[in-house]
């Protein structure tokens, strides 16, 4: 079992009330440091879905609204479900300029389903966290006939491997269990597995997918804030985390001039509801 698979299983095994607050301690960090979703990918997915201008979208697990905004600014009516109260409040604030976007502080598992109402169900970096008996089944019921499921993915932003090796010296000293480099090949494998999950659910067909490589550049503070949003760093004891972050910050300042370049695979999976 891979690290990400183990993390997903660990999350699924917890009670719903625990899962609702899973990211509460890092909601502000997530809002600040997680990258937005590529507008070019969203444009391509909407073109393939032939979504009408008056479409109604259901977003599942909207988080702080990192994907929501790209659809809201196009004028789509949206109902967005978010079980975490902290994320819900960030999303309401971030999308305050779009009155056609409504938010409910509720988990998909608890939501009173509205059958056949939505043209598109949207999930951004979230469907793997939701037990499959809810995610795909409820999405299919909520969709109109021939409606679409759109899953957006941003995988882990990482430095180039040569740069990672310099950071790995710090991990080796303070937190060797966190030494992990996904790399392009592993990220592509993860995305393929997510695509198989859509088809294997039995509710969707005509899967279309697109992947691009995105590049970004973070200063030391923002990079450490990004690390806060990932489970391995969140689970460190405070003293180890303090030493690790101090070492990483010094390495970024001394080796990379205070900024570090990152890249990651960004993708969509678009599938149509089966008749």
Task: Report the CATH number that the domain containing residue 16 is assigned in CATH.
Answer: 3.40.50.150
pLDDT of residue 9: 55
pLDDT of residue 132: 84
CA distance 105 to 205: 30
Domain membership of residue 100 (yes or no) is: yes
Place of tokens 């499959």: 132
Q: Closest Cα to residue 88, out of 57, 59, 50, 49?
A: 59
pLDDT of residue 1: 44
Domain membership of residue 166 (yes or no) is: no
Task: Report pTM.
Answer: 0.93
CA distance 115 to 104: 17
Domain membership of residue 73 (yes or no) is: yes
Number of domains making up the chain: 1
Domain membership of residue 165 (yes or no) is: no
Domain membership of residue 245 (yes or no) is: no
Which residue range is the domain that position 118 belongs to?
3-155+182-215+265-273
pLDDT of residue 210: 98
Task: Give the strand pairing for 118-124 and 101-104.
Answer: unpaired
Domain membership of residue 161 (yes or no) is: no
What are 273's two structure tokens? 């509801």
Domain membership of residue 18 (yes or no) is: yes
Domain membership of residue 258 (yes or no) is: no
Query: What string of pLDDT tens digits covers the 275 residues of the chain?
Result: 445 555 555 555 566 777 777 788 999 999 999 999 999 999 999 999 999 999 999 999 999 999 999 999 999 999 999 999 999 999 999 999 999 999 999 999 999 999 999 999 999 999 998 988 899 999 999 999 999 999 999 999 999 999 999 999 999 999 999 999 999 999 999 999 999 999 999 999 999 999 999 999 999 999 999 999 998 998 899 999 999 999 999 999 999 999 999 999 999 999 999 99
What are 83's two structure tokens? 């079980």
């Amino acid at each position: 079992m891979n690290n990400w698979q183990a993390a997903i299983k660990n999350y699924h095994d917890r009670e719903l009330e625990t899962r609702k607050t899973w990211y509460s301690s890092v909601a502000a960090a997530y809002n600040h440091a997680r990258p937005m979703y590529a507008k070019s990918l969203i444009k391509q997915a909407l073109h393939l879905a032939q979504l009408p201008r008056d479409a109604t979208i259901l977003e599942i697990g909207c988080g702080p609204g990192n994907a929501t905004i790209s659809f809201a600014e196009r004028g789509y009516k949206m109902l967005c479900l978010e079980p975490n109260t902290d994320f819900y409040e960030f999303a309401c604030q971030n999308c305050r300029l779009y009155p056609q976007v409504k938010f409910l502080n509720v988990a998909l598992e608890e939501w009173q389903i509205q059958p056949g109402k939505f043209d598109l169900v949207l999930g951004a970096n979230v469907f793997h966290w939701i037990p499959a008996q809810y995610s795909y089944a409820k999405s299919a019921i909520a969709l109109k006939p021939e409606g679409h499921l759109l899953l957006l993915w941003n995988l882990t932003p990482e430095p180039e491997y040569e740069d990672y090796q310099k950071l790995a010296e710090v991990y080796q000293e303070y937190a060797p269990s966190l030494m992990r480099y996904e790399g392009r090949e592993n990220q592509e494998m993860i995305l393929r597995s997510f695509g198989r999950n859509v088809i294997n659910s039995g509710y969707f067909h005509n899967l279309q997918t697109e992947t691009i490589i995105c590049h970004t550049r973070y200063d030391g503070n923002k990079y450490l804030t990004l690390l806060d949003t990932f489970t391995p760093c969140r689970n460190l004891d405070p003293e180890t985390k303090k030493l690790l972050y101090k070492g990483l910050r010094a390495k970024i300042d001394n080796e990379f001039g205070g900024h570090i370049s990152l890249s990651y695979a960004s993708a969509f999976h678009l599938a149509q509801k089966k008749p």
